Amino acid sequence: RKEVEQDPGPFNVPEGATVAFNCTYSNSASQSFFWYRQDCRKEPKLLMSVYSSGNEDGRFTAQLNRASQYISLLIRDSKLSDSATYLCVAYNNNDMRFGAGTRLTVKP
């Protein structure tokens, strides 16, 4: 079983749609969680950290449920520029594990 699992998608949504990605992690000792965004043939870039209380950054909302070992990312009012692969990350003591990524395509 993979340490971090994500639905690979692809998610194809129209502009303006709201889309949610889910992620589960198996290591209950994981301490920090992040969402990264990776564009085609580019390096991953940090999108946002994920806190237990949930956090929001503009159109993006991240949530963490430690009891269920579950992380989510909600994107509201999708833009064409949101098209990318979104990577869920669980971090524990110098050990950072990436999910395989969820591919999002936002269409006009």
Partner 1 sequence: GAVVSQHPSWVICKSGTSVKIECRSLDFQATTMFWYRQFPKQSLMLMATSNEGSKATYEQGVEKDKFLINHASLTLSTLTVTSAHPEDSSFYICSARDTGDIQYFGAGTRLSVL
Residues that bind partner 1 (CB under 8 A): 31-32, 34, 41-46, 49, 87, 91, 94, 96-101
Give the nearer residue to partner 1 in terms of CB position, either 14 or 94.
Answer: 94
User: In Å, how far are 7, 38, 54, 83 from 65, measured between CA atoms?
Assistant: 17, 24, 9, 26
Nearest to 50 by CA among 38, 39, 37, 61: 61
* Closest CB 72 distance from partner 1, rounded Å: 19
* Closest CB 67 distance from partner 1, rounded Å: 22
Distance CA 34, CA 52 (A): 12
Give the nearer residue to partner 1 in terms of CB position, either 16 or 45.
Answer: 45
Q: Are 101 and 86 in contact (CB under 8 A)?
A: yes
Give the nearer residue to partner 1 in terms of CB position, either 84 or 99.
Answer: 99
Give the nearer residue to partner 1 in terms of CB position, either 14 or 41.
Answer: 41
* Closest CB 45 distance from partner 1, rounded Å: 7
Q: Are 24 and 100 in contact (CB under 8 A)?
A: no
